[in-house]
A and B are shown apart, each in its own frame.
Chain A
Amino acid sequence: MTHMKYKHSFTFLSVMIAAWVLGTFAFIQFSLQPIVNNLQQLLTYLSVIIVVWVAGTFALIYFWPRLMLYGIKRVLTQRGGDANSSSGVPINTLYAVPNRASPLATSKILTTGTDDVLYVFGWLDLSKGPQVLHVPDFSGRYYSVQFTDSSDGAAFAYVGTRTTGTQAGDYLIRGLGWKGQMPSGMTQISSPNNSVLVIGRVLVESDNDLSTAYGLAKQIQLTPLSHWQPGQ
């Protein structure tokens, strides 16, 4: 029993159903009220509950990552990226949060963020064409840009110290169904979805390093491929 994977779900649901059935009989048995409804109405009652219960559970589990990420998108695009911002971050732009996480500057996006890094947030809509991500030269400093699929929450690609190194670069992020010409010499990232959450993290060594780190974080930028020119 202790090694069973779904032991709490199993225990709770089986006891609940038993208490439901036995409780119903007990209420009827010990009450002196006459039975006023017929069996058909009882079946309607039970079938509505059971259909909503079963279908709702399957649907919510399946759509949970999507719902969570659309909540994030709403906050980001309508209320902004950090505690003090008053306007939203437009689609296909990146916002660098100027200060580190602290009790006074809790991110609206990540309450559990760390104060070791500065965060960059943005939401991509690739349905109108690819975007070009530009990153500056980080000269060995740790950073990452994480791309999250809005349909399942998977971090499907990274640009940064681990995957591409810390030198400056341009990366093409391509959505579904784009058939255009790719500029030569540019690394390409194929997104499994046209809606993508972007989270950047730039290491801050100390308070003295904050302005340098912020200066670099602000240079992580997006440009639509249609407006992009090499060497820009």
Chain B
Amino acid sequence: MFKRMYAILFRRTIVADVVQAIIVGGLLAFFTANRIMGLRLFSSMPRSGFSGIIQDFFIGLALVFITLNLILDDEAKAHQTTTNGWNTIRQCNQPGNGILMRAACAKYLPMANVLQEAAYWTTTVDSTGRALSGRHNYVLHFPAGQLPPNNAFWSVTLTDVRNYMVPNPADRYSIGEGSGLLPNADGSVDIHIQHTSPAGHESNWLPAPSDDFKLWLRVYLPGAAILDGKYNVPPVVEVKG
């Protein structure tokens, strides 16, 4: 119930757009009607003169922030590619980007490296599209020879959904190239992402909080397959049982 209300009020879906737009449009209609008629109930609200103009100014500003968020969200989405639940924007902070792209990048990837220096992916969902949560156990499985190609290093960092690292007993916040990952017998690599330490797989454990979280994959000096857009990050798969 609350999850549905939250989704309708804050997630960017067409249903949410319509519901939010009717609420905001209704408020604007109320202000406009109040100006025209002077509804007695709200007679203390300014209807004309200087204080009325100030009120109009702030209504205009509220519309600016709503419109700005909508446009920059749309712009970022248009440049974002999603594969196996992992999102990435490849064009950020390149010299020569258009005005809308610059603004969207300043909002979503401020001060990030250009793609040639580092590639970034984020995900908040598993392979079935359900939100990542410490209530479940996950494995990120890189088949043999398919670790992220690079000329520097790669890592997977875990944060909460507000992008802050979460304290954990292992004092480990990322895992990757330099973490002493142990490969499987066939050369593939499993990263175990869960709240409690996975018995027998401690060296490949990325500790998760007890609730929702987000993963970041960074690849510094990405290899040709990433620059060409041919490399796909494998999905984060929930382990049952």
Contact = CB atoms under 8 A, between A and B. Distances in A.
Nearest to A27: B33
Contacts of B73: 8
A103 B64 contact: no
A26 B25 CA distance: 12
A15 B18 contact: yes
Q: Specify the main secondary structure of chain B where it touches its partner.
A: helix
B103 interface: yes
Contacts of B72: 61, 64
A37 B221 contact: no
Contact of B102 (A13, A17, A60, A64): A64
A211 B74 CA distance: 44
B166 A60 contact: no
A116 B38 CA distance: 62
A68 B37 contact: no
Contacts of A20: 25-26, 28-29, 32
Contacts of A11: 14, 17-18, 21
B29 A154 contact: no
Contacts of B197: none
Contacts of A33: 37-40
A228 interface: no
A148 B95 CA distance: 10
Interface of B: 12, 14, 17-18, 20-22, 24-26, 28-30, 32-40, 47-48, 52-53, 56-57, 59-61, 63-64, 66-68, 70-74, 77-78, 93-97, 99-100, 102-103, 105-107, 110-111, 113-114, 116-117, 151-153, 155, 157, 159, 163-167, 171, 173-174, 176, 178, 216, 218, 220-221
Interface of A: 5-9, 11-24, 26-28, 31, 33-37, 41-42, 44-46, 48-53, 56-57, 60-62, 64-65, 68-69, 72, 101-104, 106, 109-112, 114-116, 142, 144, 146, 148-149, 152-156, 158, 160-162, 192, 197, 199, 203, 205-206
24 contacts: A5-B74, A8-B12, A12-B17, A16-B22, A18-B25, A19-B21, A19-B29, A23-B29, A26-B29, A27-B30, A27-B34, A28-B37, A45-B56, A48-B53, A48-B60, A52-B63, A61-B99, A65-B105, A101-B173, A103-B166, A112-B159, A115-B165, A162-B116, A197-B111
Given A35-B36, A44-B52, A115-B165, 5 more contacts: A7-B14, A36-B38, A62-B103, A103-B164, A155-B113
